Structure 1
Amino acid sequence: MPRITIDPATADRFDDAQHALSGGGDGHGCQCQWWTITNAEFNRTTLDERRGLLRDEMAAALPPALIAYVDGEAAGWVRVGPRTRQVRLARTRNFAASEEDWDDADVWAVTCFVVRKEHRNRGLTAKLLDAAIDHARAGGARVVEAYPSDPNAGKRIPVNDLYRGVLSTFEAAGFREVARPRPGLAIVSLELRSRV
Structure 2
Amino acid sequence: MGFDTRPVTPDRVDDFVAVANPNRRPTHCWCLAHRLTAKEVAELGPDRETAFRALCARENPPGLIGYADGEPVGWCSIGPRAENTRLSRSTLIRPIDDLPVWSIICVVIRGGHRKHGYTTPLIEGAVAHAASRGAPAVESYPVDAAGGRIDTTMAFVGTRTMFEKAGFTVAGTTDAMGSGKPRLVMRRTL
Q: Normalized against structure 1, the TM-score is what?
A: 0.82
Please list the CA deviations of residues 4-24 of structure 1 after superposition, one character each: whole Å capped at 9, or x if unmatched.
222111111111111111259
Cα RMSD, aligned residues only: 2.7
The answer to whether residue 53 in structure 2 is matched with residue 60 in structure 1 is: no
The answer to whether residue 156 in structure 2 is matched with residue 163 in structure 1 is: yes
Cα 1:166/1:60, change in 2 over 3 Å: same
Contact 1:23 1:115 in 2 (8 A): no
The structure with the greater share of residues assigned to helix is: 1
User: Partner of 1:30 in structure 2?
Assistant: 29
Partners of 1:112 and 1:130 lie apart in 2 by 14
Partners of 2:76 and 2:33 lie apart in 1 by 13
Partner amino acid, structure 1, of 2:125 = A
Partner amino acid, structure 2, of 1:56 = A
Tell me the SS of whatever aligns to 2:18: helix
Of 128, 146, 150 in structure 1, the residue corresponding to residue 122 of structure 2 is: 128
User: Partner of 1:7 in structure 2?
Assistant: 6
My pick for the range that moved more, 86-95 or 26-35, is 26-35
User: Partner of 2:172 in structure 1?
Assistant: 179
Alpha-carbon offset, residue 116 of structure 1: 1.0
User: Partner of 1:143 in structure 2?
Assistant: 137
Partners of 2:101 and 2:49 lie apart in 1 by 26
Structure 1 residues 102-117: aligned runs within 5 Å: 106-117=100-111
Contact 1:65 1:79 in 2 (8 A): yes
Tell me the SS of whatever aligns to 2:146: helix
Q: Structure 1 stretches of 5 or more lacking a match?
A: none
How many residues align structurally? 183
Partners of 1:90 and 1:21 lie apart in 2 by 23
Partners of 2:5 and 2:53 lie apart in 1 by 19
The answer to whether residue 71 in structure 2 is matched with residue 78 in structure 1 is: no
Q: Normalized against structure 2, the TM-score is what?
A: 0.84
